[in-house]
């Protein structure tokens, strides 16, 4: 089904592996479109409850495919950026959690792809950066917006304007990734986190992701109204009854599986 991805489902978790090791998993138009199709499968397949995204070989994604982009004119470049934004905005809109297991280089479009995931787990060997200004361009898949929101405006400017490549340890220190683990523990850690989230009330998890993404950046008054509205669906669900009853009865919850 996919030429540039490996897609497998185990224990209701979709493992999506970008597989262009000969090109350090660089993002070209084909990869972007295949990723969109893969995450469409994640969203629509009821047997899938979360996803882990990683890369094959030494890179998570070493960037956009410069060999392809080098021949682009302004219109073609714009179309690629629109395709990338379409993918990454879609990833954020999916109610199911997406975890990036960053195994190696996450540069340029690779860093932007990781930032579009809900949670980022990094191998101790991972490297992060937005090197676009070295190439005479700027981040074009959301990097100028997501990076400052994750690490702060000034640090975002620093990383983008200097094009500095940072270690996993530094990425963890500044809040770009949530956990850093030995390489051999990367996928197991990502799977453990996915299973932890999947053990919670599905409706509540979906509502939380949606309201966080949609409310972030809004003024507090508007975001608070959004939270109140988002609270309604879980509060009216069977999961709310089960969760509170189980708490009072001091037993394990048995949530409905979405």
Does residue 258 have a pLDDT over 60? no
Do 7 and 52 touch, CB atoms closer than 8 A?
A: no
- Total tally of structural domains belonging to the chain: 2
Amino acid 29: pLDDT:
95
Let me know if residue 134 belongs to a domain.
yes
132 catalytic per annotation? yes
**Catalytic one of 132, 164, 184, 227:** 132
Please report, for the domain that includes residue 207, its CATH number. Answer: 1.10.12
Amino acid 1: pLDDT:
81
Let me know if residue 133 belongs to a domain.
yes
d(CA 153, CA 22): 35
142: left (phi over 0), alpha (psi -120 to 50) or beta: left
Average pLDDT, the chain: 94
Average pLDDT of the residues in 45-67: 95
Residues with Cβ within 8 Å of residue 81, at least 6 apart in sequence = 140, 141
Does residue 9 have a pLDDT over 60? yes
Residues 167, 244: one domain? no
Amino acid 257: pLDDT:
63
Q: Which domain holds residue 60?
A: 5-198
Amino acid 170: pLDDT:
98
**Catalytic one of 112, 164, 184, 227:** 112
Let me know if residue 258 belongs to a domain.
no
Which strand (E) or helix (H) includes residue 219? Answer: none
Residues 167, 185: one domain? yes
Which of 198, 213, 239 terminates a domain? The answer is: 198
13-18 sheet: strands from edge to edge: 5-10, 13-18, 50-55, 98-102, 119-123, 179-181
Amino acid 236: pLDDT:
77
Let me know if residue 119 belongs to a domain.
yes
Tokens of 239: 């999961």
């Amino acid at each position: 089904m996919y030429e540039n991805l490996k897609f497998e489902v185990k224990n209701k978790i979709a493992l999506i592996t970008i597989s262009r090791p000969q090109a350090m998993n660089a993002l070209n138009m084909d990869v972007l479109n295949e990723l969109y199709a893969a995450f469409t499968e994640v969203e629509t397949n009821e047997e899938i409850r979360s996803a882990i995204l990683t890369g094959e070989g030494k890179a998570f994604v070493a960037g956009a495919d410069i060999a392809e982009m080098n021949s682009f004119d302004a219109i073609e470049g714009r179309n690629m950026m629109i395709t990338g934004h379409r993918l990454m905005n879609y990833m954020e809109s999916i109610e199911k959690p997406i975890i990036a297991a960053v195994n190696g280089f996450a540069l340029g479009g690779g860093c932007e792809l990781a930032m579009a995931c809900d949670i980022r787990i990094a191998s101790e060997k991972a490297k992060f950066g937005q090197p676009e200004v070295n190439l005479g361009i700027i981040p074009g898949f959301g990097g100028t917006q997501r990076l400052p929101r994750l690490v702060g405006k000034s640090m975002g400017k620093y990383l983008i304007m200097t094009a500095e490549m940072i270690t996993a340890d530094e990425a963890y220190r500044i809040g770009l990734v949530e956990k850093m683990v030995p390489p051999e523990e990367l996928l197991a850690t990502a799977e453990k986190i996915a299973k932890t989230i999947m053990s919670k009330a599905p409706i509540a998890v979906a509502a939380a992701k949606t309201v966080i993404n949609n409310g972030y950046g809004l003024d507090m008054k508007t975001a608070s109204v959004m939270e109140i509205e988002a609270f309604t669906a879980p509060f009216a669900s069977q999961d709310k009854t089960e969760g509170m009853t189980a708490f009072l009865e001091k037993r394990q919850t048995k949530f409905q599986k979405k």
